Amino acid sequence: MSCFAGLTASAPVASGLADRGKGRGRVYANITETVGNTPCVKISEEICPKGRTIYAKLEYFNPLSSVKDRLACAIIEDAEKKGQLKPGDTVIEATSGNTGIAVAMLCAQRGYKCVITMAEPFSIERRKLMRFMGAKVIITPKAGKATGGFAKAKELAEKNGWFLCRQFENEANAEFHYKTTGQEILNDFEGMKLDYYVLGYGTGGTFAGAGKAIKEKRPDVKICLGEPADAPLVASGTKTERNADGSATGSHPAFKPHPIQGWTPDFIPQIAEKGILDTGYDEFVPIPGQAAIDMSQALAKTQGIFTGISGGASMYAAVEMAKKAPEGSVLVAMLADTGERYLSTPLFASISADMNEEELAISKSTPNFQL
CATH of the domain at 75: 3.40.50.1100
Q: Indicate whether 260 and 191 sit together in one domain.
A: yes
Q: Can you give the pLDDT at residue 18?
A: 87
Identify the active-site residue in 65, 66, 68, 296.
68
pLDDT at position 11 is 52
Is 310 catalytic? The answer is yes
Per-residue pLDDT, 144: 85
Report how many domains make up the chain.
2
Percent of all residues in the chain with a pLDDT value above 70, rounded to a whole number:
96
Kindly state whether residues 160 and 188 are assigned to the same domain. no
Q: How many CB atoms lie within 10 A of CB 256?
A: 11
Is residue 81 in some structural domain?
A: yes
**pLDDT tens digit string along 311-354?**
999 999 999 999 999 999 999 999 999 999 999 999 999 999 99
Same domain? For 265 and 128 the reply is: no
| pLDDT confidence bin for 8, thresholds 50/70/90 | low
CA dihedral 309, 314, 316, 320 (to 10 degrees): 160
| Within a domain: 84 | yes
Establish if 170 belongs to a structural domain.
Answer: no
- Asked whether residue 355 is domain-assigned, the answer is no
Is residue 239 included in any domain, yes or no? yes
Buried b (16+ CB within 10 A) or exposed e, 103-119: bbbbbebbebebbbbbb
Among candidate residues 114, 137, 164, the one where a domain is terminated: 164
Residues 100 and 222 occupy one common structural domain? no
* pLDDT at site 2: 43
CA distance 60 to 111: 24
- Which residue in the list 247, 310, 314, 329 is annotated as catalytic? 310
pLDDT tens string 156-201: 999 999 999 999 999 999 999 999 999 999 999 999 999 999 999 9
Asked if residue 150 and residue 103 are part of one domain, the reply reads yes
What single-letter amino acid sits at 250?
G
- The model's pLDDT over 280-311, given as tens digits with 9 standing for 90+, comes to 999 999 999 999 999 999 999 999 999 999 99
With respect to residue 303, please indicate whether it lies within any of the assigned structural domains: yes
For residues 128 and 191, membership in a common domain is answered with: no
pLDDT digits (tens, 9 = 90+) for 10-60: 555 456 788 899 999 999 999 999 999 999 999 999 999 999 999 999 999
Q: Has residue 105 been placed in a domain?
A: yes
Residue at which a domain ends, from 112, 137, 164: 164
Q: Where a domain ends, among 102, 133, 164?
A: 164
Alpha carbons within 13 A on the beta-carbon side of 126? 32
Residue 22 lies in a domain: no
Domain range for 252 is 31-62+181-348
- Predicted local confidence at residue 14, as pLDDT: 53
What's the chain's average pLDDT? 94
Q: Are residues 150 and 202 in the same domain?
A: no
